[in-house]
Amino acid sequence: MVLGCLLVAGSGCSKFDDINTNPDRPAEVSSSMLATTLLLNITRDAISTQKSFMQNYMLGKYILWTEFAENQQYNKFSRTSFDGFIVLNNVDKMIEFAPDEGQKKSYTALGHFIRAWKFFNASMEVGDIPYSVALAGESENVINPEYDSQKEVFEGILNELDEADRLFSEGTNFSGDPVYNGNVAKWRKLVNSFELKVLINLYKKTADPALKVKERFQQIVSSRPVFTSNADNFALQYSDKAGQKYPFFKEGNQFIIYQMVSDVLIDRLKETEDYRLFYFTKPSPVKIAGGKTWSDWDAYVGIDPSVVYSDLSAISSSKDFSAINDRYTQIPSGEPVALISYAQVKFMMAEAALRGWITGDGAAKYYEDGIRASMEFVVQYTPDDANYHHNRKIDAAYIQNFLLSDKVKLQGTTPEQLEQIITQAYIANFLQAPYSAYFEYRRTGYPAFPINPASNKNIPSDRIPIRWLYPQKELDYNGEHVNSAISSQYGGNDDVNAPMWILKD
C-alpha cells in the first residue's frame, strides 16, 4: 500500500460557509485550506449525494430501492478500500503551516480527531488495519506498512482523542472549519462525544485493564464537555445555493422515483403512535385513493426490505407503499445530516447507565432526552406545512405525552430496555449518520433486521454479513502483511461472516 504525500487531496475548496479561494490569485497552501480539505472529506464526501446518499441507508434497512436489486439492500458485501487514508497526509502540513502557537495546538488537535475518525471507521469495517506506520511512506519510507491489531488501533484512537481534548482546551479558535467555524469549545464537545461512541463499541471489553472502558466513559461524562443540545451536532448545514443543497434534493436527481420506506421503520413508529412517521414518510397514494386521509395511520405502508426483487418490482408498480416525505426532495436546504448528534449521545449514555457504567440522571432520563432531541430536531427543520407533517404536528405537549406513554417508557428486563434504547436510536438516525444503524444492529442485534434466504445475497443465506473484505490493493501490493492479519484474526479466510475482535466476548 503506497500512501505518498498528497496535499489538498480531493480539493480544499469549500462552498460551505463561504470558504473559497480567489480565482484571480494562485492558491497558496495554508492550514486553513488543509483543514477544510480534511473536514469536507469526512463530512460532505462521506455523506455523498443522490443515489449514493440513499445507498447508505439500504444497509440499515430504512430504504428499499426499485431500480435494481442493490447489494446493500440484499446484504452482499465486497471489498472495502483504504484509499481514504491518503488525505491524512495533509495533517502534518496543516500543523506545520499554523500561524501561531494557539492555532497550532488547535490544528494538532484537529489532526488527532481526523486520524481517529478515519482509523475508527476503517477498523470497524475489517478489524486489524495499518495504523502506527500507515502514513510513514514519506517520512520513513514505509511503503508496505505492517498491521496493528484492532485492540492496538482502538487504544491508539482513545489516546489520540484524549490528546485532542487536551490540546483544544489550550488552543485558540482556528479558520478553515465549515462545521463549527473553528470554535474550540464546540470541538471539545465533539471529540469527547465521539470518544463515547468509540467506548460504547468496546462494551464487550470492559474487563480489559488496559482499555479501562467504563472508567474512561465515566470520566468523560463527569468531567469533560460533551454535546448538550442539537446545536452541537457534527453536521453540515445545507442551503439553496449551488453545491450546497440537500443530498437528495430533486434538482438533477433522477433517482427520487426509486426509493420506498421499509416496514422495519414504519411498523416501529406505528407501534408507539410516533408522529415522526408523518414527518419521515408520505402516505400510500393507493390508500389515499381508497378513502384514507393524510393523518390516518393505516395510510402509511412499509415494505419488507428482504422481499425478493421481483415482488418488490410488483409493489413498486402498484404504488401501494410509502416513500420518503416530500421535504427531503422539495426543500433545497433540507435538514443537516449529522454524523454524530446530541440524540445519539443521549442514547449512548442511556445504554451506559443501563449497563451500570454511569449513574447521573439514570438510563430512563437519558433515553427520554434522546427521544426529545430527535423530535425537536425534526420539527426544527420541517416547515409548518401539511405537505410535510400531514396534519400530525409534533409540539411540546405531544412530546411530553409521548414520553409518558406505557408503550414508550423505559421498562422491563435489561435486554428489553436495551432494545428500546437502540430502537429509538435507530428511529432518530433516519437519513442521518450513514451506516450507524447497521453497526448498531451488528453490535446489539437491535432492531431485528429481516433475513430472507430467498433474497439474501450472503453465503450462507441465513445471516447478514458482519464485516467487509480487505482491499484488493492490499492483497496486490501489501500481501504479506494483510495475509498475516487475515491469518491471525480469521484463520486465513477473509470471510464476511467472521467476527472481529470487538465483536467477541
Written as one string, the DSSP assignment of 151-172 is HHHHHHHHHHHHHHHHHHHHS-
- Contact assessment for residue 341 and residue 373, using Cβ atoms and an 8 Å cutoff: yes
pLDDT at 257: 98
Those residues whose C-beta lies under 8 Å from the C-beta of residue 468, and which sit 6 or more positions away, are 77, 78, 79, 80, 125, 126, 496
CA dist list (Å): 61 to 106, 116, 261, 403, 436: 38, 27, 9, 25, 11
Quote the DSSP letter at residue 178.
T
- Contact assessment for residue 154 and residue 502, using Cβ atoms and an 8 Å cutoff: yes
Q: Roughly what angle, to the nearest 10 degrees, separates helices 342-354 and 363-380?
A: 170
Concatenated DSSP letters of 52-81: HHHHHHHTTTSEEESSS--TTTTT---B--
pLDDT at 334: 97
Burial of 26 (0-12, 13-18, 19+ CB in 10 A): exposed
Classify 48 in phi/psi space as left (phi over 0), alpha (psi -120 to 50) or beta: left
Q: Which cell numbers in the block locate residue 383?
A: 416547515
pLDDT at 138: 66
Beta strand spans in 354-460 (E)? none
Residue the block writes with cell 412530546: 399
Each residue's pLDDT tens digit, 74-132: 999 999 999 999 999 999 999 999 999 999 999 999 999 999 999 999 999 999 999 99
Class assignment of domain 84-226? Answer: mainly alpha
- Contact assessment for residue 248 and residue 49, using Cβ atoms and an 8 Å cutoff: yes
pLDDT at 254: 97
- Contact assessment for residue 458 and residue 78, using Cβ atoms and an 8 Å cutoff: no
Residue 469, beta-bridge partner list: 79
pLDDT at 471: 98
Residue the block writes with cell 405537505: 387
Equal fold, 55-65+232-456 vs 84-226: yes
Question: Which of 259, 428, 260, 455 lies closest to 337, judged by CA?
Answer: 428
Cα gap 130→115, rounded to integer Å: 12
**3-state helix, strand and coil shares in percent for the chain, rounded to the nearest 5:** 50, 5, 45
Those residues whose C-beta lies under 8 Å from the C-beta of residue 312, and which sit 6 or more positions away, are 64, 66, 303
List own/partner pairs for 83-87 with CB under 8 A and 24 or more apart: 83/471, 83/473, 84/41, 84/118, 84/122, 85/3, 85/118, 85/122, 85/130, 85/134, 85/135, 86/3, 86/4, 86/6, 86/9, 87/6, 87/9, 87/10, 87/37, 87/38, 87/41, 87/118
Tell me what the pLDDT averaged over the chain comes to.
94
Each residue's pLDDT tens digit, 200-245: 999 999 999 999 999 999 999 999 999 999 999 999 999 999 999 9
Question: Which of 185, 187, 214 lies closest to 199, judged by CA?
Answer: 214
Residue-wise over 63-77: b if at least 16 C-beta within 10 A, else e?
bbbbeebbebbbbeb
Classify 226 in phi/psi space as left (phi over 0), alpha (psi -120 to 50) or beta: beta
Question: Which of 330, 329, 325, 321 lies closest to 260, judged by CA?
Answer: 321
Residue 287, amino acid: K
Per-domain boundaries in the chain:
55-65+232-456, 84-226, 472-499
Quote the DSSP letter at residue 100.
S
Question: Which of 175, 222, 179, 221 lies closest to 196, judged by CA?
Answer: 221
- Contact assessment for residue 34 and residue 94, using Cβ atoms and an 8 Å cutoff: yes
Q: Which cell numbers in the block locate residue 202?
A: 468496546
Compute the CA torsion angle 348, 352, 358, 362 (nearest 10 deg).
Answer: 80
Which CATH number applies to 55-65+232-456: 1.25.40.390, 3.40.190.10, 3.40.50.2300, 1.20.120.1730?
1.25.40.390
Cα gap 96→484, rounded to integer Å: 35
Beta strand spans in 366-428 (E)? none
Each residue's pLDDT tens digit, 347-388: 999 999 999 999 878 999 999 999 999 999 999 999 999 999
Collect the ranges in the chain with pLDDT lower than 70: 1-27, 137-139
